Amino acid sequence: MSATLLARDLRYAWRGRTVLNGVDLHVGSGEVVSLLGANGAGKSTLLRLLLGLLRPATGAIHLDGAPIASIPRRLLARRLAYVPQVHVSPFPYLVRDVVLLGRLPHAGLSGRIGPSDRQAADAALTRLGIEHLAERPYTEISGGERQLALIARALAQGAHLLVMDEPTGGLDYGNQLRLLDLLRTLAADGFGILKTTHHPDHVLHGSHRVAILRDGRIVADGPPAEILTRPLMRSLYDVDVEPHRLADGRLVFMPATAQTPPSPRYPQSHPSESPA
């Protein structure tokens, strides 16, 4: 199982505002890549471009060497899966049925779901540890449980590349850590994973690389322990934090002992990342 998603010199504007200005990014099999940036940096817009849901003004996006725009949607869905940040169904589908939707790209012209599709859905539910929710209405489970169901749907889809918009959103602390460990396990099995996050500690815990999006560009890309420095964190979020090395070697960020109000680098509010 091998897959590569590659973007070169992506540019995109929305209502006269430049959102992305020359973005380069790649995601390959066997790695978890985190996309980090302040609110309004363009993270969600970049994901939509990579998924082929938006078209860049300039630049190119390739999946396994082929222009993504040239790949039929059904075939693309077999190779690239999306886990949205928020999803509310207007109908009380069972959780198993929501996960089964991930099998539609594999269905024939009749759109019928067969035994192998049900086996794939059940396996995905089990891997996420939510098989006990299979017969529950999707509208009656918690937001965190819905997020896990959406990830199970992506796994059932059979794609080798997963694009996730803040996958830990809505999860309690324990499930956040379990999910981060799961993503590393999936990468070890050959999946390529790109996820957005607002939590630097989540980047340090479970990512092979971090890409920093600022001013419409990827300004740094590499191992989290090398990229996430005190000056960079201050420039991204206008807060002063200090890195601390734990006894087991892990790196975490803590608020600096003496906080000095920084000069704002960014406005207090940002235009929406989403052009919709």
Q: Are strands 217-222 and 58-63 parallel, antiparallel or unpaired?
A: unpaired
Look up the domain containing 61 and give its range.
4-228
Residue 183 has pLDDT above 90, yes or no: yes
pLDDT at residue number 274: 47
Please compute the mean of the pLDDT values over residues 217-235 and round it to a whole number. 93
Q: Is residue 219 part of a domain?
A: yes
Task: Give the model confidence (pLDDT) of 66-92 as tens digits.
Answer: 999 999 998 999 999 999 886 677 788
pLDDT at residue number 268: 42
CA distances from 42 to 15, 212, 271 (A): 14, 11, 9
Q: Is residue 258 part of a domain?
A: no
Of 84-93, 167-176, 257-266, the least confident: 257-266
pLDDT at residue number 251: 81
Continuous segment of H or E residues that includes residue 247: none
**Sheet with 58-63: strands ordered across:** 17-28, 4-14, 58-63, 66-67
Of 86-95, 165-174, 262-271, the least confident: 262-271
Number of domains in the chain: 1
Please compute the mean of the pLDDT values over residues 162-171 and round it to a whole number. 89
Q: pLDDT higher for 46 or 271?
A: 46
Q: Is residue 23 part of a domain?
A: yes
Average predicted confidence (pLDDT) for the chain:
87
Q: Is residue 276 part of a domain?
A: no
Please compute the mean of the pLDDT values over residues 7-20 and round it to a whole number. 93
CATH number, domain with residue 178 = 3.40.50.300
Please compute the mean of the pLDDT values over residues 8-24 and round it to a whole number. 94
pLDDT at residue number 275: 44
Quick one: DSSP state of residue 145?
H
Please give the Cα distance from 176 to 188 (Å, whole number): 19
- Model-wide pTM > 0.75: yes
Residue 262 has pLDDT above 60, yes or no: no
Q: Is residue 99 part of a domain?
A: yes
With tokens 């070169």, the residue in question is 8
Q: Please, which pLDDT band fits residue 178 given cuts at 50, 70 and 90?
A: confident
Which residue pairs, CB below 8 angstroms and at least 24 apart, start in 170-174? 170/142, 170/143, 170/144, 170/146, 171/144, 171/147, 172/144
Task: Give the model confidence (pLDDT) of 187-214 as tens digits.
Answer: 999 999 999 998 898 999 889 999 999 9
Q: Please, which pLDDT band fits residue 226 given cuts at 50, 70 and 90?
A: very high
Whether residue 225 contacts residue 204, with contact meaning beta carbons closer than 8 Å, is answered with yes
Q: Is residue 242 part of a domain?
A: no
Q: Is residue 259 part of a domain?
A: no
Q: Is residue 244 part of a domain?
A: no
Of 49-53, 74-78, 119-123, 261-265, the least confident: 261-265
Please compute the mean of the pLDDT values over residues 173-186 and round it to a whole number. 89
Continuous segment of H or E residues that includes residue 24: strand 17-28
Residue 10 backbone dihedrals phi, psi, to 5 degrees: -75, 135
Task: Give the model confidence (pLDDT) of 102-135 as tens digits.
Answer: 999 987 656 688 899 999 999 999 999 999 999 9
| 174 contact partners, CB below 8 Å, separation of at least 6 | none
CA distances from 61 to 1, 8, 246, 264 (A): 20, 7, 39, 34
Residue 97 has pLDDT above 90, yes or no: yes
Please give the Cα distance from 255 to 53 (Å, whole number): 38
Please compute the mean of the pLDDT values over residues 136-165 and round it to a whole number. 92
Return the percentage of the chain with pLDDT > 70, whole number. Answer: 90
Q: Please, which pLDDT band fits residue 170 given cuts at 50, 70 and 90?
A: confident
Whether residue 205 contacts residue 45, with contact meaning beta carbons closer than 8 Å, is answered with no
With tokens 């809505």, the residue in question is 170
| 253 contact partners, CB below 8 Å, separation of at least 6 | 200, 201, 204, 228, 233, 241, 242, 243, 244
Please give the Cα distance from 251 to 243 (Å, whole number): 6
Please give the Cα distance from 52 to 118 (Å, whole number): 28
Encoded tokens for 146: 């819905």
